[in-house]
Amino acid sequence: MQTEIIIAGFGGQGVLFAGQLLAYAGMDEGKQITWIPSYGPEMRGGTANCTVVISDEEIGSPFVHNPQAVIAMNRPSLDKYEPLVKPGGVLVVNSSMNDRKPVRTDIRVVEIAANEEAEKLGDQRMANMILLGALLANLPVLPEEAIKKALKGHLPERHQKLLGKNFDALAEGARYLP
């Protein structure tokens, strides 16, 4: 089985980190993986997105046109990627950064005020992990334990002190089922 995911938002929101974490977790689980980041020249605030393909078999192409899932962390990402989600797929939306509701009725939509929820956890940087937790609860491509293991194994030493907050954020996102 092959699962294609796009994560998109502004630079500085943890878009690439969330995708890279999915890729590491998939590799650690013995899956075939591709991770392709894309970002503008700005350090923060420019566009950023990544595609992640997770498969049990060899991946024929890393390019994704109609993903099973999208995490849209801001309005431009929602506008761009909502139309591309495969019918029956999952769209996880950060409603903190969107001023419109998704319009598709043939996909599962999960809306989370991720910035506000991250603030409640004590660190706004955890919004990406909340959204990732919601994605995995609604599209169980990898178990939450695989993500936790990847965080432990691949989070830089200087950020290891944030493991607990990351775990809490994943659990918070996992509560969001439509």
Q: pLDDT value at position 42?
A: 58
pLDDT by 10s per residue, the chain, length 178 = 899 999 999 877 888 999 999 999 999 999 999 999 987 765 566 678 999 999 999 998 888 899 999 999 999 999 999 999 999 999 999 999 999 999 999 999 999 999 999 999 999 999 999 999 999 999 989 998 999 999 999 888 888 888 999 999 999 999 998 6
Cα 78 from chain centroid? 13
Q: Which helix (H) or strand (E) holds 57?
A: none
pLDDT of residue 157: 87
pLDDT at residue number 10: 87
pLDDT at 5: 97
Q: Which domain holds residue 121?
A: 2-174
Q: Give dist(CA 35, CA 60) in Å, integer.
A: 13
Q: Which of 162, 102, 82, 76 is nearest to 126 (CA)?
A: 162
Give the count of beta carbons closer than 10 Å to the beta carbon of residue 63: 10
Q: Which of 150, 114, 147, 108 is nearest to 130 (CA)?
A: 114
How far apart are alpha carbons 51 and 36 in whole angstroms? 5
How many domains in the chain?
1
What's this model's pTM, rounded to 2 decimal places?
0.93
What pLDDT sits at residue 121? 93
Which CATH number covers residue 49?
A: 3.40.920.10
